[in-house]
């Protein structure tokens, strides 16, 4: 056990983060991984020269909203700190986390805090202070699939992308089953934000009555391929903020036509 007074440390103490009695340590996170928990560990030197250890386990909400938790660590100099995922389901890009130090804000004022850990946390990547290597502030998103609710017959399929994230659309698939009513349908996909259409693309072929066809739109594909599934080209690099709305916009959709098996394959990055 280290037993030295702070004054004995000399210049060393000038390079350490000092947490006063009035300060708080703030743990902030934005998370999309369901059921995730993390462990926060902090080692600090108290004013009597004793090395103390603080540890807490936090369950993380998965709604993608920014949360801040106050940690009562104690007064002293921070020697080291880490944030580690304690569950195995936190994928790269799903969880942003930070630790900062500052005095709690007074009513009507913003909190002035100094961040000493920040980056993307995953089951395979912890965050630490001090770090031997640079913390990874930027990250690729987690590859996930989204299944919109099946629409009623004659209705378009729609889904609102979860807030507090950025989405890159990799592929879209949907199945259209048409009834005997004579009409020439065409599968069209639309993405909108704040009431305005921002991306719109469709099948290169039309579909007649009394047929069933699966469409797969793939980013970067240049030509249509008609095999079992109608594989269609899609705009590459479609990037959308949370709150954007996906909608099928099938042309000439009839009353009892059905749109089923809709899947969005996306790369989702937690927003900071």
Share of the chain above pLDDT 70, in %: 85
> Following DSSP, what letter does each residue of 217-262 receive, concatenated?
EEET--S-EESSSEEEEE-TTEEEETT-EEEE--BT--TT-EEEEE
Q: Which domains does the chain have, with CATH numbers?
A: 6-129 (2.60.290), 142-270 (2.60.120)
Q: Give yes or no for a contact between 122 and 90, defined as CB atoms under 8 angstroms apart.
A: yes
In tens, the pLDDT along 30-49 reads 999 899 999 999 999 988 88
* Contacts (Cβ under 8 Å, ≥6 apart) of 14: none
Residue 4 has pLDDT above 50, yes or no: no
In tens, the pLDDT along 240-272 reads 999 999 999 999 999 999 999 999 999 988 875
Q: Give yes or no for a contact between 146 and 266, defined as CB atoms under 8 angstroms apart.
A: yes
User: β-pairing, 230-234 with 212-219?
Assistant: parallel
* Dihedrals phi, psi of 229, to nearest 5 degrees: -105, 140
Within the chain, residue ranges assigned H as helices are 6-9
Tokens of 194: 């704040």
CA–CA dist 69, 67 (Å, integer)? 7
> The whole model's pTM is what?
0.67
User: 20 falls in which pLDDT band (50, 70, 90)?
Assistant: confident
Q: Give yes or no for a contact between 104 and 40, defined as CB atoms under 8 angstroms apart.
A: no
């Amino acid at each position: 056990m280290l037993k030295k007074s702070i004054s004995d440390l000399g210049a060393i103490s000038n390079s350490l983060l000092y947490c006063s009695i009035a300060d708080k340590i703030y743990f902030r996170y934005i998370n999309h991984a369901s059921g995730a928990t993390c462990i926060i560990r902090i080692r600090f030197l108290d004013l009597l020269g004793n090395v103390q250890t603080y540890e807490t386990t936090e369950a993380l909400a998965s709604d993608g909203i920014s949360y801040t938790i106050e940690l009562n660590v104690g007064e002293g100099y921070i020697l080291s700190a880490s944030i580690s995922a304690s569950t195995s389901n936190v994928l790269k890009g799903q969880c942003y986390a930070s630790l900062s130090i500052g005095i709690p804000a007074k009513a009507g004022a913003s909190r002035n805090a100094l961040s000493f850990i920040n980056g993307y946390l995953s089951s395979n990547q912890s965050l630490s202070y001090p770090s031997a290597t640079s913390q990874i502030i930027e990250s690729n998103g987690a590859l996930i699939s989204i299944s919109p609710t099946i629409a009623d017959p004659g209705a378009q399929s729609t889904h609102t992308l979860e807030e507090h994230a950025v989405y890159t659309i990799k592929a879209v698939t949907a199945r259209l089953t048409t009834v005997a009513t004579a009409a020439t349908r065409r599968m069209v996909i639309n993405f909108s934000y704040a009431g305005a259409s921002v991306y719109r693309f469709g099948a290169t072929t039309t579909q007649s009555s009394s047929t069933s066809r699966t469409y797969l739109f793939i980013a970067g594909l240049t030509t249509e391929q008609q095999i079992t599934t109608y594989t269609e080209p899609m705009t590459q690099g479609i990037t959308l903020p949370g709150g954007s709305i996906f909608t099928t916009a099938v042309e000439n959709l009839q009353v009892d036509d059905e749109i089923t098996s809709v899947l969005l394959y996306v790369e989702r990055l937690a927003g900071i």
